[in-house]
Structure 1
């Protein structure tokens, strides 16, 4: 939402809450992103085509920095939910950032497909694919993604309260009033905060690159 500032939030899941998981609605299927669909994937985070064009350089650089040397792994992991015409309508995947920490990356449902249970089902598939040995799982998000934050919390993610994660400030204190204003009261009250393990903070500090 344009009235919500672009601030940093970080979340961690120590254990999956399996009661939050759901199956895909009828008429949708999951498959991997194909190499000829990279442009589609790069446009996914942006609801406005003009904004997608504006950030194409950023997305291109991120892809090269984080996935460029591991393209086969990217295409093996990056998932699309598709409609009956095989058109991608949602995307997400788990990725080993810095080769050491498990992260949820680029979770997005196209706006016209929100509210159908697609995102919950996709996150169920992604989280179910994470080995117990790869927990905890981390993610970065923004307060404008308050619907996704409610979903993450359902799955067992907690907001991190550490002031800095890697090279980025953690804007939790600024974000909480925003989330309270936009989330249903019960959903906001269900949010939990925690501190990150020191090992995670060390990994995030180990590189100037942002990988999640």
Structure 2
């Protein structure tokens, strides 16, 4: 069969597309429902142990994950533990990874009220078997380990030298998975909040497009 110029062009395009498929597959989101289009499917931590939804952690009508810096509402007769201390509910997802370098990113926009200690959104990646909480030797209390990265809710305005709401941004964390295994991605507010019934305004953070992908070298498009 004689290969004409149009046929050669078509074959070249097909070869180019085929070569790009492994690279595209390698960049696919390794997290389930990272855009929250299916509510919190694939994630853990959006409800209390008794099945009630958390007031300060939900997916809104726009399909964004919403964190509000307040305690969950307690009903008369509930135990004090229902106030969730530390307040910041953590949404998490476990994912099986092979050893290598990964990139975790998320889009965040904020409404900072400048009241209370909440001033950042925490992201934590736990290695296989690594605990999220460790015991403080001085107090005996169990405290959450420091985040791997934070998205700011409030920032200092360089002109007025006052706290203002941080602008919308996509944040990116690059990390290494040392071994093959199950890793856990945690998302949560930093610090403690306040009771719902104080009447004080609270910081709100909207999170969307949470994506985890493996970083491959140029000669390893399908690593």
Q: Same fold (TM over 0.5)?
A: no
TM-score, with length taken from structure 1:
0.28
Q: 1 or 2, which has the higher strand percentage?
A: 2
Q: 1 or 2, which has the higher helix percentage?
A: 1
TM-score, with length taken from structure 2:
0.27
